[in-house]
Chains A and B, each alone.
Chain A
């Protein structure tokens, strides 16, 4: 059962990573405009060779 010593921390770490990522995205305001996000995917960049706009 010694394998648990590092398997459990590994599982917790990975789960925690997901949790932190979610909380970060929430704090980042990524859930504030869900309809907008769904629509923005349809916007073409002006020129495919150029990098997209500032935001």
Chain B
């Protein structure tokens, strides 16, 4: 149902992504109206009985969590919430727009769930109840923990810095008494020590984890420096010493926590998409018992042999055989095929396909993880594990950097001790080295670039989903495209309009208006709908449309049904076709073809000019793929590829040393997307493909792919520059620290300056002209 409405919304020309104020909500509502809902068959549109998912709070009020589809803008939020709150039984109705979820609480005795939801569903927002316990709450809690640590570190950094500046001012003016300085140090200690203990935990935990596995990561030198600095400063304070490093340890934590938070925020989008998928998988199924009663049970609980009812707009929960009913199924999610498939009693059907036309009863053969859908998901998960081995640049640097810093600090300590300093002074210098080398700039080098790059891409409608996606994309040398929905729009267009007389086109368009079949919709875009001749159109699933116009029977449908004889010497086109047969006249052929996306040719030419190898891997028929390949000038193409064939091809490329970016949209591409070095998918892609992909781009234009690759390259250059800046800073500051010239004031200035330099350098990504991007 969601996809029907979505497709409908996409047919209207302007993209709605930035059109927040407009009435984008009409899309969903229109779709529903067109299918012809009235209150009687409302039941056909409720995916499953929500009553099974109702829970209760302590006061006995009923609560329900739902996923909302078709929500695009502020109006949608308002419509949904107001529709629910208009019912006096409702206590609370709150939409979470970021995660597309809805929470309702109501007085259970005064309303049942189905009635509450009815107004929302009839406005065109399909609702799917879910069990909130299935969502992993651990990472949400971790997020909050990080934010709290950030707040505490920020508070401590500001206040300790305030006190430290006073101390430094005292040194400069030379008139601060020892008692005052000691007092200020004590106050600093009282703020900094608890703050370090609390806000440092994310780093301490990660460092401990790494050490336990016998590895070193960036968090080890960070934790060591922060802890040593705090401990040494405390001992200096107790002894009434001149220098303390409380400010350094807390500002360091503050800066690094910012980096860590930015890094995490980049990954959150991906997580919420994945969660949604898990929730959708857990949707309920309606089972028909042997005595004819209907019962809603979780899809996982359906056993082979059960009879499952599938209403219009619902996805099949199981693989099975149709036992009664006839309809057309949207199978694009499973095979990538753009035309719906007609099914009737006795046909095999697969989980994940969507019922488009009439109610079906399906006898389950395979359920749960054994379905075809489950196979594809498994294949995808297996491919993903292969990729998990990728080690990020920052971690690779940390592996060299961490031991180097520790050795340097140890040498400083040994050196000072050897040359006659007492161990306290020697330790002081060693800690100074640790603080000054501490990778503040290094810790910010990657996250800041990432945020700037993500921001720039977001402005062009491209979402960066995985944290290291940009890094991996910068390494690629081969680009593999899927065809349907990626190189093409995945939408059929009338191809031979010029061959068809206007009269026939208008007649066909008037009839086609009654249907939601993709071919019929393609026709109705072209002809003039002659509203003056209203007629009654009948739709026969799998055959076509029939109507009686001025007493003459007119048929619009497939070649056999419309009576086109086998020996008709009109060749079968490359794409699908429809025939218009008016009784007593020769039938007219309508040919259709999937349109190439705008910008596809330029993008591919530009990519080839830059030296990338370009390939097509498609599940579609050879003739169709060949035509597109020739049109776009791509020499390497393979048609009729199953999901496992695609994965195998990518493995071959990988073994020959290639770094591949896979660009695809269908569920059949999902394993390949997960297997490739890095992957991109359009926002029209199946949910699961978007989950597998590292980047998601909105809109029709394929130049987004080029832009993404370009920004990734730029970002990589800036990251390398940032690391160079950080090392340059270390090359100057470290000798000074080893020699013992570093005071807390110097450390603070050096640290801030290097971080600032890295941030400013990263911002250059924003200024970079996109002259060759279009």
Contact surface of A with B, Cβ cutoff 8 Å: 1, 4, 8, 11-12, 15-16, 18-19, 22-23, 26, 31-36, 39-43, 46, 53-55
* CB atoms of A34 and B148 under 8 A apart: no
CB contacts between A and B, total, < 8 Å = 67
Q: Is B158 within 8 A of A42, CB to CB?
A: no
Known: A12-B159, A39-B20, A42-B20. A4 touches B183 (CB 8 A): yes
CB neighbours (8 Å) of A55 from chain B are: 81, 92, 94
Q: Which of B56-64, B71-79, B436-444 contacts A (4 or more CB under 8 A)?
A: B71-79
Given that A18-B155, A42-B20 are contacting pairs, would A36 and B85 also be in contact in the complex, using a CB cutoff of 8 Å? no
A4 — which chain B residues lie within 8 A by C-beta? 180, 183-184
B266 at interface by CB-CB < 8 Å? no
Question: Are A42 and B74 in touch, CB under 8 angstroms?
Answer: yes
A1 to B82, CA, bound (A): 60
Q: Once the chains are docked, how many angstroms separate the CA of A51 from the CA of B82?
A: 15
Complex A-B, nearest 3 residue pairs according to Cβ-Cβ distance, in ascending order: A36-B97, A42-B74, A39-B74
Residues in A whose Cβ lies below 8 Å from that of B154: 19
| B187 surroundings in chain A (CB, below 8 A) | 8
On whether the beta carbons of A40 and B74 are closer than 8 Å, the reply is yes
* Beta-carbon contact of B177 and A39 below 8 Å: no
Q: How near does chain B come to A2, taking the closest CB pair, in angstroms? A: 10
Known A-B contacts A4-B180, A26-B144; A43 and B155 likewise in contact (beta carbons under 8 Å): no
Given contacts A33-B98, A55-B81, 12 further A-B pairs with CB under 8 A are A1-B177, A12-B191, A15-B159, A19-B152, A26-B147, A34-B98, A35-B97, A39-B73, A39-B74, A39-B97, A53-B81, A53-B85
- Chain A interface mostly: helix
**Which of B21, B98, B144, B163 interacts with A42 by CB under 8 Å?**
B21
CB pair B99 A33 closer than 8 Å? yes
Q: Which residues on B sit within 8 Å (CB–CB) of A19?
A: 151-152, 154-155
Which residue of A22, A35, A53 contacts B98 across the interface (Cβ within 8 Å)? A35
Do B96 and A33 touch across chains, with their CB atoms under 8 A apart?
yes
Cα–Cα distance between A53 and B90 once the two chains are bound (Å): 13
CA distance A4 to B158 in the complex (A): 17
Give Cα distance in the complex from A35 to B101, angstroms: 12
Q: In the assembly, what is the distance between CA of A46 and CA of B92, in Å?
A: 18
Check A22–B151 contact: CB distance below 8 A: yes
Query: B95 an interface residue at 8 Å Cβ cutoff?
Result: yes
Q: Which residue of A lies closest to B21 (CB)?
A: A42
Q: Does B397 count as interface, using CB distance less than 8 angstroms?
A: no
Residue pairs across A and B with Cβ atoms less than 8 A apart, 20 shown, are A8-B163, A15-B158, A22-B151, A26-B147, A26-B151, A32-B96, A32-B98, A33-B98, A34-B98, A35-B98, A36-B77, A36-B95, A36-B97, A36-B98, A39-B73, A40-B77, A41-B74, A42-B73, A53-B82, A54-B85
A22 and B153 CA atoms in complex are apart in Å by: 13
B177 CB contacts on chain A under 8 angstroms: 1
| Chain B hits for A35, CB < 8 A | 97-98
Q: Which chain B residue shows the least CB distance to A21?
A: B151
B162 interface contact, C-beta 8 A: yes
Which A-chain residue is minimally distant from B147 (CB atoms)? A26
**Shortest CB–CB separation between residue A44 and chain B, in angstroms?**
8
Looking at the assembled complex, report how far the CB atom of B635 sits from the nearest CB atom of chain A, in whole angstroms: 43
Q: In the complex the two chains form, is B151's CB within 8 Å of A23's CB?
A: yes
Inter-chain CA distance A34–B180, complex, in Å, is 45
In the bound complex, CA of A15 to CA of B153 (Å): 12
Which residues of A lie under 8 Å from residue B151 when comparing CB positions? Answer: 19, 22-23, 26
The residues of A that contact B97 with a CB separation of less than 8 Å are 33, 35-36, 39-40
Residue of B nearest to A37 (CB): B97
Whether the Cβ atoms of B159 and A11 lie closer than 8 Å is yes
Would A43 and B159 count as touching, CB distance under 8 A?
no
- Which chain A residues lie closer than 8 Å to B158 at the CB level? 15
Alpha-carbon distance between A1 and B148 when the two chains are bound, in angstroms = 34
Which residues of chain A come closer than 8 Å to B75, judged between CB atoms?
43
A47 to nearest B CB, angstroms?
13
User: Nearest Cβ distance between residue B434 and chain A, in whole angstroms?
Assistant: 28
- Contact flags (1/0) for B151-191 with A, using CB distance below 8 Å? 11011001100110000000000000100100110010001
- Residues of the B chain whose Cβ atoms lie less than 8 Å from the Cβ of A11: 159, 162
B76 closest partner in A (C-beta): A39
Min Cβ gap A24→B in Å is 11
Q: Within B83-120, which residues are at the interface with A (CB < 8 Å)?
A: 85, 92, 94-99
The answer for the CA separation of A43 and B96 in the assembled complex, in Å, is 15
**Hey, which chain B residues are within 8 Å of A18, CB to CB?**
155
Known: A19-B151, A26-B144, A33-B99. A43 touches B74 (CB 8 A): yes
Q: How far is the CA of A16 from the CA of B154 in the complex (A)?
A: 11
| A12→B144 CA distance, assembly (Å) | 24
Tell me the minimal C-beta distance from A36 to chain B in angstroms.
3
Min distance, Cβ A29 to any Cβ of chain B, angstroms: 10
The smallest C-beta distance from A11 to any residue of chain B, in angstroms, reads 6
Q: Once bound together, how far apart are the Cα atoms of A15 and B99, in whole Å?
A: 33
Q: How far is the CA of A26 from the CA of B140 in the complex (A)?
A: 12
- Cα A45 to Cα B159 in complex, Å, equals 42
Q: Specify which chain B residues have a CB less than 8 angstroms from the CB of A12 in the assembled complex.
A: 159, 191
Residues of A within 8 A of B155 (CB): 15-16, 18-19
